Amino acid sequence: MADLSSTFVGIKSPNPFWLASAPPTDKAYNVERAFKAGWGGVVWKTLGEEGPPVVNVNGPRYGAIWGADRRLLGLNNIELITDRDLYVNLREIKQVKKNWPDRALVVSLMVPCVEEAWKAILPLVEETEADGIELNFGCPHGMSERGMGAAVGQVPEYVEMVVRWCKANTRMPVITKLTPNISDIRKPARAAHAGGTDAVSLINTINSITGVNLDTFSPEPMIDGKGTHGGYCGPAVKPIAMNMVAEIARDPETAGLPISGIGGITTWRDAAEFMALGAGNVQVCTAAMTYGFKVVQEMIAGLEAWMDAKGHRTLSDVVGRATPNVTDWQYLNLNYVAKAKINQDLCIKCGRCHIACEDTSHQAITALVDGARHFEVMEEECVGCNLCVNVCPVENCITMEPLAAGALDKRTGEVVKPVYANWTTHPNNPSAQVAAE
């Protein structure tokens, strides 16, 4: 039986599934319920500095996009950090940690960008015996206008500075939560690393407008006719988040830096993919907000079953296994040739592959053969782009079949070479030619 127990920057939890800092972790009531449901850990909803707490809007906080059957695909929010009193939160954190010693309890923090502010709050958190802190450098709305959250996360120098202050002022492990609203995610990760962070977590939410009301011409979510860019999360952001995790995982400058993967994780499979790309554990928000805490039971059972089936005993057998396979385009093997193949027994003759290829790709799929509706790939035209596979409604009906070395590529008229060759040495590459001369 696979062992799901996790140790992340020294913090132990019975499984790698943590709830991300957000409404699900806003107070003891929720967190107690989450732990009862089986979550391995939580990152408490972000605390701010002492004094009157922030106020939230009193209208809608969320916008969303849905599939046809109202499946929630993406969620957007304009909520701020906790609007509860600091000391109430701290008391609850202390009590919950006492009640659940085997679960991870990390406290998310966001205070003004001055060392005094951090110096003031860190001892208060330490006193709760929480397992660690997460620096919220990600919140993209509201707090960033006040010089916090993403306003810090978007300036690598500030990231490094604040991390350094925290490391200097607490014994607790420090996890730096990154904003995706930046063009190169490696920059803040490197900065956090330089400042001495124990780990990074990502992604926080992405600036977004989920819709526009075409009657009132106001963006959604709408507050009294106006809207603002909220933070996007949920299944839709997963591909973006995974790329960012992988970029950090394979960056030589941050090699080995623990990563807590966040963004759209909804099923065990999502979690496994994040971990394979280099995340040591994962955090979840939208899936819990959509389905309730019970979803973790599917995640645990699914991850266990997959690990058992594949013979992975512990999480370390999985974490980072896909990282070496993430590379730059220029290193992809140009001698790898694949052709689409349509399984005629599975084909339901919808013709989507044909029209996709005909109108937008390489005119490589028939529509009629001998007067009958028949869809078949013409190998001499197929560039192997895979579009037909992706638009085909039947799973595994169209497959990409690699040509073996020595086989003839009917499109180019060339024989498939047995050796690896990439763009860096390709004759059409001006830089390569210069090098060759």
Partner 1 sequence: MATGLFKEGIASGRLPAAQVADNFADLHPRLDRHEAVVEADRCYFCYDAPCMQACPTSIDIPLFIRQIATGNPLGSAKTILEQNILGGMCARVCPTETLCEEVCVREVAEGKPVQIGRLQRYATDVAMAQDKQFFPRAAPTGKKVAVVGAGPAGLACAHRLAVKGHDVTIYEAKPKSGGLNEYGIAAYKAVDGFAQAEVDYILAVGGITVKNGQAMGRDFTLSSLAETYDAVFLGMGLAGVNALGGEGEEASGVSNAVDFIAELRQASDLTSLPVGRRVVVLGGGMTAVDAAVQAKLLGAEEVTICYRRGKESMNASTYEQDLAAANGVTIRHWMQPKRIVGVNGATVGIELEYTTVADGRLVGTGETVTLAADQVFKAIGQSFDAAPLNGSGPKIALERGRIKVDADGRTSMGKVWAGGDCVADAREDLTVAAVAAGRDAAESMHRVLVTA
285 binds ligand FMN (CB under 6 A): yes
How remote is the C-alpha of 281 from its chain's centroid? 12
Q: Closest Cα partner for 89 from 61, 113, 121, 60?
A: 121
Q: By CB under 6 A, name the one of 54, 367, 385, 416 that touches ligand SF4.
A: 385
Q: With CB under 8 A as the rule, give the number of residues binding partner 1.
A: 15
Partner that binds at residue 265, options partner 1, ligand FMN, ligand SF4, none, CB closer than 5 to 8 Å by kind? ligand FMN
Nearer to ligand FMN, 203 or 403 (CB): 203
Nearer to partner 1, 240 or 355 (CB): 355
Closest separation in Å from C-beta 217 to partner 1: 17
375 binds ligand SF4 (CB under 6 A): no
Q: By CB under 8 A, name the one of 141, 193, 339, 354 that touches partner 1.
A: 354
Report d(CA 173, CA 215) in Å as an integer.
50
Nearer to ligand SF4, 125 or 357 (CB): 357
Report d(CA 339, CA 381) in Å as an integer.
10
393 binds partner 1 (CB under 8 A): yes
> Which residues in the 35-94 window bind partner 1 by CB under 8 A?
67-70
Report d(CA 159, CA 307) in Å as an integer.
36
58-66, 141-149, 167-175, 380-388 -> range binding ligand SF4 (CB under 6 A):
380-388
Nearer to partner 1, 70 or 171 (CB): 70
* CA atoms 40, 90, 151, 198: torsion sign: negative
Report d(CA 129, CA 428) in Å as an integer.
61
352 binds partner 1 (CB under 8 A): yes
> Which residues in the 46-85 window bind ligand FMN by CB under 6 A?
46, 75, 77, 79, 81
Collect all residues with Cβ–Cβ distance below 8 Å to 195 and sequence separation of at least 6: 159, 160, 161, 162, 163, 164, 167, 176
17-25, 179-187, 212-220, 384-392 -> range binding ligand SF4 (CB under 6 A):
384-392
Partner that binds at residue 357, options ligand SF4, ligand FMN, partner 1, none, CB closer than 5 to 8 Å by kind? ligand SF4
Collect all residues with Cβ–Cβ distance below 8 Å to 353 and sequence separation of at least 6: 340, 342, 365, 375, 388, 391, 392, 398
Closest separation in Å from C-beta 230 to ligand FMN: 9
Looking at residue 226, the DSSP 8-state letter turns out to be B
> Which residues in the 113-172 window bind ligand FMN by CB under 6 A?
136, 138-139
204 binds ligand FMN (CB under 6 A): yes
Report d(CA 368, CA 362) in Å as an integer.
17
In degrees rounded to 5, what are phi and psi of residue 70?
Answer: 60, 20
- Quick check: bond before 78 cis, omega within 30? no
Catalytic residues: 139
Nearer to partner 1, 88 or 394 (CB): 394
Nearer to ligand FMN, 81 or 322 (CB): 81
> Which residues in the 328-367 window bind ligand SF4 by CB under 6 A?
340, 357, 361-362, 364-365
158-166, 263-271, 388-396, 411-419 -> range binding ligand FMN (CB under 6 A):
263-271
Q: Closest Cα partner for 173 from 127, 224, 132?
A: 132
* CA atoms 364, 367, 372, 375: torsion sign: positive
Is the Cβ–Cβ distance between 208 and 236 less than 8 Å? no
Report d(CA 87, CA 51) in Å as an integer.
10
Closest separation in Å from C-beta 199 to ligand FMN: 14
Is the Cβ–Cβ distance between 21 and 43 less than 8 Å? yes
Closest separation in Å from C-beta 212 to partner 1: 14
Which SS3 state, helix, strand or coil, does residue 379 take?
Answer: coil
Would you tell me which residues interact with ligand FMN (CB under 6 A)?
Answer: 20-23, 45-46, 75, 77, 79, 81, 108, 136, 138-139, 177, 204-205, 233-234, 237, 262-265, 284-287
Would you tell me which residues interact with partner 1 (CB under 8 A)?
Answer: 67-70, 348-352, 354-355, 367, 373, 393-394
